[in-house]
Amino acid sequence: MRSVRAATSVAGIAAAALLLAACGSTDAPIDDGDTPDGTANADPITVVDTAGAEITLPDGPAQRVVALEWAQAEIVTSLGVELVGVSDLAGYTSWVGNAVPLLGEPADVGLRTEPSVEAIAELEPDLILGGGRSVPEAVADQLAAIAPVMTVDVADASDPLGTLSERVDLIATTIGQQEAAEELLAQLDATIAENAASIDAAGLSGAPVVLTSPYAEGANVTIRMHGPGTAVQAVADAMGLTAAWDDPGDEAYGLSYVDIEGLTAVPDDAWFLYWDNDDSDDPVETSLAGNAIWDGLPFVVEGHVAPAANGIWAYGGPGSLMAWSDDLVQVLTAG
């Protein structure tokens, strides 16, 4: 199995910040390389984000980070750093929190597509992490006046796992957690390998699977299909499973959309897994069950339909993908 590490990943350096407690009543002397509060000066960090912008952190690794997208919030959290602010805190808890619960008590800073400039300013961050859509042009200058704004898009359907690995390294560099990033990505490799062995032992190697997300808009039902360019399908492939949906989808996330009739293209022996969430109604029961086409699909007749990825973000970081890998084994071997 190919490692998810990119061949040109950033070299690991010491990552964990040491918290120094003063002993006795005498202040420690300040070295030439120390600041007046006794903390060590750090060299500036300069990186190029995924939008091609050069981002400089003059005081070294960021200490107070705001994340405007859930994937970035998850990655920072998985690297052991407490965020000071997260967009749509309740949504993160519901859709991502089962896999990677947030550390501490970060503040809510608005919606992922509508960040609150006021809420972010009050937190006095030294880095704002966002994706392409989470930094609206109308507030981009205001956010940049608060702290450096770094765009980190984590998805690329041409190489979903390799791209994610590179993005984890990029974020880790800005928060001084390169060693933790190496360990996190190694853990992802190990989890996939272990679960691949479980799939093989269960006689499921080669089984076609697809993660879907059905939803209704009035009387029309649309099913979001996670194709071969998605990170979740890349994990399934690495576990010895195969893609039940071969449409390449969009260039970033590898997603495509079909109606119920389009599901006739799914192989008869496929496993149709649908994204589950405790805060939402069961989409199969509410949108698909009872439809004559759906009820007659071979994989439905065979009972190869199951909820999956409850509280696991399909577009997240290594923590989410490890949880998804574990969940795949559990769902496919439950019967």
Please identify every stretch of the chain with a pLDDT value under 50, giving residue numbers as ranges: 1-2, 4-39
CA distance 192 to 242: 14
φ, ψ dihedrals at 213, nearest 5°: -140, 90
CA-CA distance, 52 to 49, in Å (whole number)? Answer: 5
What are the pLDDT digits (tens) for 216-273?
A: 988 899 999 999 999 999 999 999 999 999 999 999 999 999 999 999 999 999 999 9
The position carrying tokens 């939402």 is 280
Show contacts of 276-283: CB within 8 Å, 24+ apart.
Answer: 276/307, 276/308, 276/309, 276/310, 277/94, 277/95, 277/310, 277/311, 278/94, 278/310, 278/311, 279/94, 282/307, 283/213, 283/214, 283/215, 283/216
Residue ranges and CATH numbers for the domains of the chain are 45-153 (3.40.50.1980), 202-332 (3.40.50.1980)
Reported as a single tens digit per residue, the pLDDT across 303-316 is 999 999 999 999 99
- Which residues share a beta bridge with 54? 48
Separation CA 22–CA 112 (nearest Å):
40
